[in-house]
Structure 1
């Protein structure tokens, strides 16, 4: 019905309106809160408690506030007795899962563009702990075991003869970002809301016409750095 701004808190006052407020014992109320993430980006949590609105000193629930943050699930809230001493902000955690990519048999003497669209072939980032993660730009790059060609492409090496190589590049793309690796242009990307962002890989491989047949491989090590 009304909103009152107190010293360090905001009180939302309702009225007894049928099923909205239950005046039986115990007292219950169904409340839905909508909070702009941008308003609490530095400390992504809110404290909520019942209170009595008065003309003088408002009275808050003595047991404390229900502390609701990104990790709050299943209705299990931490109760904080003193709102001035909340728990520390949750340290953001980002993990990455990368599959073993199999490019199959490649024709010699021509460039092959191979996109691997299935879920099992996607490179994915999973993250929890702070909405600030999704407001951040990131630089992704990769180094490889076999080094680079003269024109800065990764190299596949023959497992029986390490002198035989095949150059390739890797593009990671989703609906909003696309990054070519090696990332010589320092292209940035973002992590979407929802706790996970996945990229579909596209390889460009060009075996020389005279390259030796056999099995080739390489190992990529990814580096992700947050940028202001």
Structure 2
């Protein structure tokens, strides 16, 4: 938290998977995460784990209630949760569009509605998209008629196992995801996949460090 705030960023974004299974998992951390502050706000989206799909519920009503509670926790953290929508942010007379969609991932639920999230935007506006799963960029974003200049994703964790040294970047997760970590540019559009900060399954990482990404936007 101190490291994040030390960047004095204009904007903080969180690209999903606040919990692994249940909303209550975030409760012990609310006091910590709510300390994150950025001048123009803190924004978030949902990841595949946030919907409670990987735990058995007594009924669908309880499952839906869990998701609604998680959305409330985002607000308690001070995060503006973007659900297939966008906001406009202005600094020094320059404006960007920040859009966020619900999780869209091949094999992990295609809930997000990109067209809805971009409704009302123009071709000339600089757009940043928060989309949890990098497979969405391949499927819908990189060739979208509405140019999305920068997409920020996560999801893969670099599989929490790999090699990143001496110019080598490898993880078995590459067998599933073409772009699993770092920056990729194609068709004049950029994707950045963050390696994440938590874990799923194995409570550790081997060769894949936790990551906080600091991005500076410069006018071309």
| Alignment TM class, shorter chain as reference | under 0.3
User: Please, what TM-score do these two structures have when normalized by structure 1?
Assistant: 0.20
Bigger relative contact order, structure 1 or 2 (CA pairs below 8 A, ≥6 apart) = 1
Larger Rg: 1
Structure with greater helix share of residues: 2
Higher strand content, 1 or 2: 1
